[in-house]
Amino acid sequence: FRQRGLQEFCKEYHWMTEIYEFLQTWGPQKLESMRDCPIKNYVMLVSCLNVRQARVSNIPNELITKSKLLLLSCRDVRAEMESKLESIRKDILAQVQNECWSRSQQLMKELADFIKVFQTVISDFHSIAQCSQKLNEANDQYNKLEERMEYIRSLHELTRSHFRLFSAENEALDISLLDMWEAFQFERSQASEFLLSKQHTIVPKLQQLMAAALAELEGLIEKALSGPFMDPAQEQRSTECQLLALERQFQSTASHLSELHRAYATFTGTEDPRPSATTCHRPSN
């Protein structure tokens, strides 16, 4: 009779084995592996955890087999399971909150960098080139930035709907992120309109400045290869000093030309080869 009573108990509460195995295999590495996972994975885990907690909480303190020959105390087993399940729940919540905070701070920093450039653009070509480059980055990264923003907001929603947590700090962070995202979208649109309005004036100006810098480089090369620099009778030390001065001037102008070309390529979105003094290439008007 006693054996039959135990079999009946094991059959009725076989689900405790699955929970016990879950608790035994759970550890920090399991939680760490969930970073960057889809939100649905967190939802499934928390939902399963809720079901397990509910079932464990309904375990009676004591059970008497149908034969009335065996009294089983479940108090300690239930308490241990409840404690471990609650600990897991707290660990998951802590990770979700940490992910919300760190991801929000990083994304808002990146959005703020974009907004700063968009808001401070003025009518000089250096500022416009920087803004254009940043706008290209924003357009290229837009889908990923939006995905990151939606993921973070889903983490916030997870804490509300599945953990029933409504803290002022979390709500303020969520609102700040949404405000920053809307500001980013607005300033991105404004910057795009501004650059479009300046394109007809800035491109010719850049072409003019590149042509002037290229002409200066060609003149320096021509100067270095003619006149007293090609005359062996000239005093060597004086000639070397003059050549060094020409080289410094050449390097400075070449650097300026490279900067102009980067601005031109960034603003126009072209992949044209860099202007070269040796090929005497000049941008067309």
The reported pLDDT for the residue numbered 64 is: 67
Dihedral over Cα of 204, 205, 210, 211: its sign: positive
Strand intervals (E) in the chain: 62-64, 71-73
Q: How far apart are CA 111 and CA 150, in angstroms?
A: 14
Q: DSSP secondary-structure letter at 238?
A: H
Per-residue b or e along 79-113, where b marks 16 or more CB atoms closer than 10 Å to that residue's CB = eebeebbeebbeebbebbbebbeebbeebbebbee
Query: Tokens 């149908």 sit at which residue?
Result: 66
Asked if 59 contacts 9 with a C-beta cutoff of 8 angstroms, the reply is no
The reported pLDDT for the residue numbered 225 is: 80
In terms of C-beta density within 10 A (0-12 exposed, 13-18 middle, 19 or more buried), how is residue 135 classed? buried
The reported pLDDT for the residue numbered 186 is: 97
- For the chain (285 residues), the mean pLDDT of every run of 10, in chain order, is 56 82 89 92 92 86 64 79 92 93 96 94 77 89 96 92 82 94 96 84 82 91 77 71 86 86 74 51 38
Predicted TM-score of the model (pTM): 0.70
Backbone angles phi, psi at 106, to 5 degrees: -65, -45
The reported pLDDT for the residue numbered 136 is: 87
Q: How far apart are CA 33 and CA 84, in angstroms?
A: 19
